[in-house]
């Protein structure tokens, strides 16, 4: 009698556009997959007092009784249990390609795309019926590139526009009136899916700024390492931008870079490793990688969002870049798209502006939109996540797409992102000016580290407080410009959200005395 099998909900994969099959992988090659298990209970979406990571694992982690059935399944399919983490709800299984194909009812193939040759699958994954309610996601069989960086480098080609300039990160912080403080006592996690940093570059950069070198630690996830490529246009640019923006604004914070492979497995494992890290205990996570919501599996959208729910219960704020390609998010199908993971309602989506100033004062701030192909603030309406309660009073429109879905609006906040008014950084032995919403996520992460330090309390999922305080001028409303399908205007909009930060007002808002 054949064993009854069920589909892992949301595991369906479509072929990657612009790719072609070129064969099958060696059936004896060993691979590792991350199996995500159901929760004991749903954690609260918003907490005033965060709980410890140990307490979280006890209350909301995986159920210990769910491990033996999975171990039995692994043994029956010649798979090895490599790691079990109840807090992260993750079980790592190792086995050959042939055994993985049989265990999960799929057929792995090799595909060639502009990124190279990679292993991938199509269709859904299957499991024995007795595991159907226990397993909520399986990641790692498909290794297609999942996300892209969200930075734009300013290249000195052609005439500069009126008002173009560049800033050190601390100069941007001063323009936004960030409160005093250096983030001491806080750990800022940054998620990286490639590239790396050289300590010599960081030493040079911070010496030039006259700032003490911050503490920077690299953590490898799923075999990835801190591996600088030596090319500032590669992922190195992302890594150095993230570290240098946080380090220049909050040099007292401990910066921990979690390096994972650029796959949905690597990305998710890097996030859950950071959120549940009992050694470094981040209070803020900065993510400057993403991809159009439509490019993700349903299981990935759900599990990333649940990882951010974990973060909220632990008092950890997650800042995500909203994308650098306007309302289309880099796709050419004529529809509007939002970037994920910024579209998670448990993340702080960070959009982009063009910031002009004179004599240390902001003179003009508009939506970042440098024209077709040159970058614009990502933003729009999610086609996956419904409107969260904190946006209920923000007049978020329905999607401009045919669905007219009443979804989560992106971004929540914004900050300087135009390379024409970009950030001075140092990468792979040379000076450079970078922009993109990749710069805005670490900008907000550094601000939140300082706010946490000054208030003595982690901000956690700060979205609720920001939307509740919108009328108190805690953010600088951006009312001019567009990102393609959406226009800026008074109040929240799908280009710059609630606006750019006013650090002093935010500190007063979050301080216990008020």
Active site residues: 238, 242, 438
Closest Cα partner for 476 from 390, 351, 316?
Answer: 351
Q: Rounded distance, CA 284 to CA 412, Å?
A: 16
| Structure tokens given for 206 | 């911070």
| Structure tokens given for 274 | 């950071």
Q: For the chain, first and last CA: distance in Å?
A: 67
| Structure tokens given for 28 | 């004896």
- The SS3 call for residue 324 is coil
Q: Cα 69 to the chain's mean position, in Å? A: 33
| Structure tokens given for 333 | 């199908």
Q: Rounded distance, CA 405 to CA 386, Å?
A: 8
| Structure tokens given for 193 | 């899916």
Length of the chain: 514
Q: Report long-range pairs for 63-68 (Cβ below 8 Å, ≥24 apart).
A: 63/37, 63/38, 66/37, 66/38, 66/134, 67/91
Cis peptide before 501 (omega within 30 of 0): no
CB crowding 53-92: b at 16 or more within 10 Å, else e: beebbeebbbeeebbeebeebbeebebebeebbbbbbbbb
Please say whether the beta carbons of 375 and 368 come within 8 A.
yes
Please say whether the beta carbons of 354 and 421 come within 8 A.
yes
Cis peptide before 411 (omega within 30 of 0): yes
């Amino acid at each position: 009698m054949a064993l009854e099998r069920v589909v892992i909900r949301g595991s369906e994969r479509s072929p990657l556009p612009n790719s072609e099959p070129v064969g099958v992988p060696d059936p004896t090659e060993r691979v590792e997959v991350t199996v995500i298990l159901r929760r004991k209970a749903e954690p609260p979406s918003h907490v005033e007092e965060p709980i410890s990571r140990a307490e979280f694992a006890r209350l909301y982690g995986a159920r210990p009784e769910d491990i033996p059935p999975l171990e039995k399944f692994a043994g029956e399919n010649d798979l090895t249990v490599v790691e079990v983490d109840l807090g992260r709800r993750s079980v790592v299984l190792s086995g050959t390609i042939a055994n993985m194909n049989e265990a999960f009812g799929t057929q792995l193939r090799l595909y060639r795309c502009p990124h190279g040759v990679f292993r991938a699958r199509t269709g859904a994954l299957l499991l024995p019926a007795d595991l159907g309610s226990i397993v909520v996601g399986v990641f790692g069989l498909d290794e297609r590139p999942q996300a892209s960086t969200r930075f734009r480098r300013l290249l000195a080609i052609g005439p500069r526009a009126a008002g173009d300039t560049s800033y050190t990160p601390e100069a941007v912080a001063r323009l936004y009136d960030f409160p005093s403080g250096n983030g001491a006592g806080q750990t800022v996690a940054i998620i990286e899916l490639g590239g790396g940093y050289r300590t010599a570059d960081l030493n040079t950069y911070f010496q030039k700024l006259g700032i003490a070198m911050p503490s920077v630690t690299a953590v490898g996830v799923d075999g990835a390492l801190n591996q600088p490529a030596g090319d500032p246009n590669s992922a190195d640019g992302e890594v150095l931008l993230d570290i240098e923006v946080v380090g220049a604004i909050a040099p007292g914070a401990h910066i921990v870079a979690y390096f994972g492979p650029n796959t949905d497995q690597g990305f998710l494992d890097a996030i859950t490793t950071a959120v549940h890290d009992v050694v470094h205990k981040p209070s803020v996570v900065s993510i400057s990688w993403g991809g159009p919501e439509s490019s993700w599996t349903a299981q990935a959208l759900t599990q990333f969002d649940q990882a951010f729910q974990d973060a909220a219960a632990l008092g950890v704020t997650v800042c995500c870049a909203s994308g650098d390609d306007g309302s289309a998010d880099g796709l050419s199908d004529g529809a509007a798209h939002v970037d994920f993971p910024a579209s998670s309602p448990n993340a702080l989506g960070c959009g982009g502006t063009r910031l002009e100033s004179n004599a240390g004062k902001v003179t003009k701030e508009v939506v970042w939109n440098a024209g077709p192909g040159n970058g614009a603030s990502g933003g729009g309406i999610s086609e996956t996540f419904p409107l969260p309660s904190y946006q209920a009073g923000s007049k978020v429109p329905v999607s401009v797409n045919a669905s007219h879905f009443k979804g989560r609006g992106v971004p929540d906040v914004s900050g300087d992102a135009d390379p024409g008014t970009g950030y001075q950084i140092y990468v792979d032995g040379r000076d450079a000016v970078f922009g993109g919403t990749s710069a805005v996520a670490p900008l907000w992460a550094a601000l939140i580290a300082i706010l946490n330090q000054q208030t003595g309390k982690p901000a956690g999922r700060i979205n609720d407080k920001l939307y509740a305080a919108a009328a108190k001028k805690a953010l600088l409303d951006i009312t001019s410009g567009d990102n393609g399908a959406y226009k800026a205007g008074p109040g929240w909009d799908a280009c710059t959200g609630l606006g750019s930060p006013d650090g002093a007002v935010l500190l007063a808002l979050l301080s216990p005395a008020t």
